[in-house]
Structures are given as structure tokens and as C-alpha cells.
Chain A
Amino acid sequence: KQEVTQIPAALSVPEGENLVLNCSFTDSAIYNLQWFRQDPGKGLTSLLLIQSSQREQTSGRLNASLDKSSGRSTLYIAASQPGDSATYLCAVKNDYKLSFGAGTTVTVRA
């Protein structure tokens, strides 16, 4: 069974600091890895999707890396803003199912 772990569980930083969120998974036979953002009381917003053959994906201030062999992914958010405050979820896809980590709750202080 795929196990996904996210560290840290919570993070508080001052505005402007770079954020580093970590995700690890136990079964490296994945199709892809996806990072989501979840705001309180809301659904999931997809941020980045990395195919198993890729090493990283970038979108604006966001960059995600994938090391499939070691079962790790890192999400970097540059120059954080208060609007980045949310819970960030990592999910890996085996077959058609997504297995999720518990999330990292980020607070960016103005």
C-alpha cells in the first residue's frame, strides 16, 4: 500500500521568505505526482503535476522536483506572500488512484 508523508505538518514564515515543502512516498512505481492547494472550507486546486518521467515542473513562483527512485518530491515557493497561506497536499498516482499526504499548513505573516 502506498504511504505518503509530508513534512513539516505546519510552517509559518514572514512574507518574502522562500518555502520548502517535502513529500515522500513508499512505492516508487507511480505514474505521476501532483501538488494541490486547499483553502479552508474549499476543494483542491491543482498546482503542478509531474509525470514519472520528469524531474521537475515550474509555474510562476512554484517549482516542484521529483526523485522517483528515492521516493521524494519537493515543492518550492519563491518570495512567499500572505495569499500563499493554505494547506498544500502532495498526491501520487498508482494505477488510477491518488494517495494523499496529510498536508503542510502554511502561514505567511505580513
Chain B
Amino acid sequence: GAGVSQSPSNKVTEKGKDVELRCDPISGHTALYWYRQSLGQGLEFLIYFQGNSAPDKSGLPSDRFSAERTGGSVSTLTIQRTQQEDSAVYLCASSLGGPEQFFGPGTRLTVL
């Protein structure tokens, strides 16, 4: 597609359930990023994938969070045993490794 796409656009789940968020980067982009935007917290970096290199997971807030990128394209962010503080907008971005990152529309996660 023309831009970064994310699904679902909205997700409501119950505390303790697992969720999967999907990101389709721009075709050909080798770098993929996940960010989280929490109310009152601003945007924070979660994880970075670059080609076949080991991902930088330094921003993941706990071991309940994990992400994978299959075939150097689609990425899935998984949150296990969701907590209310996980409620946020999760944004994905991709780039060719150059200066600019292109963002998707985000997934709004609400944990009840």
C-alpha cells in the first residue's frame, strides 16, 4: 500500500487477556519501529527492527510485551496478560533506514 497500515484500529479487551497488534510497513522499508502514546505520557519508543539484525527491545516496558517481524515485513506486537496501564495508542513506523520515519494511524488499545 501507499503508507503504513495497522490493525485493528481499535481494540477493547479485558484485563488479563492477551492481544496482538499488527503493522504492515511501507513496501521495501527495512526499518520498523513501535511506539506507545499513553495519556499524559507522550510518545515513547518500544522496539526497533532493522533488516535481519537482532531487534532493539530496550523500550519494552515489561516481559509481557514482545514483538516479531516475519519475513522482514509485517510485524506483530503482542501484549500478554494485559493490564489497565497498557491502555494507549500503539503506533508503528517504518523507514528505508534514512532520516525520516513514516507513521501508521495507530491502534487504540483499551483494557477494561
A binding-site residues for B, Cβ under 8 Å? 31-32, 34, 36, 41-46, 49, 51, 89, 91, 93, 96-103
Give the contacting residue for A100; candidates B4, B43, B100, B106; CB below 8 A. Answer: B43
Q: With contacts A42-B105, A44-B91 known, is A103 near B42, CB below 8 A?
A: yes
B25-52 toward A: CB 8 Å interface, digit per residue (1/0)?
A: 0000001010100000011110010100
Q: What is the size, in residues, of chain B's interface with A at 8 Å between Cβ atoms? A: 23
Interface contact B42-A44, CB-CB below 8 Å: no
Shortest Cβ-Cβ A-B pairs, 6 listed: A100-B43, A44-B103, A43-B105, A102-B42, A43-B103, A97-B45
A49 to B72, CA, bound (A): 26
B100 proximity list for chain A (CB < 8 A): 34, 46, 49
**Bound complex: CA A41 to CA B106 (Å):** 9
9 further A-B pairs in the complex, CB-CB below 8 A; given A46-B102, A98-B45, A99-B45: A44-B93, A45-B103, A49-B99, A89-B43, A96-B31, A96-B33, A98-B93, A98-B101, A102-B42
List chain B positions with a Cβ less than 8 A from chain A.
Answer: 4, 31, 33, 35, 42-45, 48, 50, 56, 59, 91, 93, 99-106, 108
A41's nearest neighbour on chain B, judged by CB, is B108
Q: Contact between A31 and B99 (Cβ–Cβ < 8 Å)?
A: yes
How far is it, in angstroms, between the C-alpha of A103 and the C-alpha of B43 when the chains are bound? Answer: 9
- Cα-based distance from A49 to B105 in the complex (angstroms): 20
Q: Are A43 and B91 in contact (CB under 8 A)?
A: yes
Chain B residues contacting A42 (CB-CB under 8 Å) are: 105-106
Tell me, in angstroms, the Cα distance from A36 to B103 when the chains sit together.
10
Q: Are A96 and B42 in contact (CB-based, < 8 A)?
A: no
**With known contacts A44-B91, A89-B43, A102-B42, A97–B103 Cβ distance under 8 A:** no
Q: Please list 12 pairs of residues, one from A and one from B, whose beta carbons are closer than 8 Å in the complex, sorted by A's number.
A: A31-B99, A41-B108, A43-B104, A44-B91, A45-B103, A46-B102, A49-B99, A51-B99, A91-B43, A97-B56, A100-B43, A101-B42
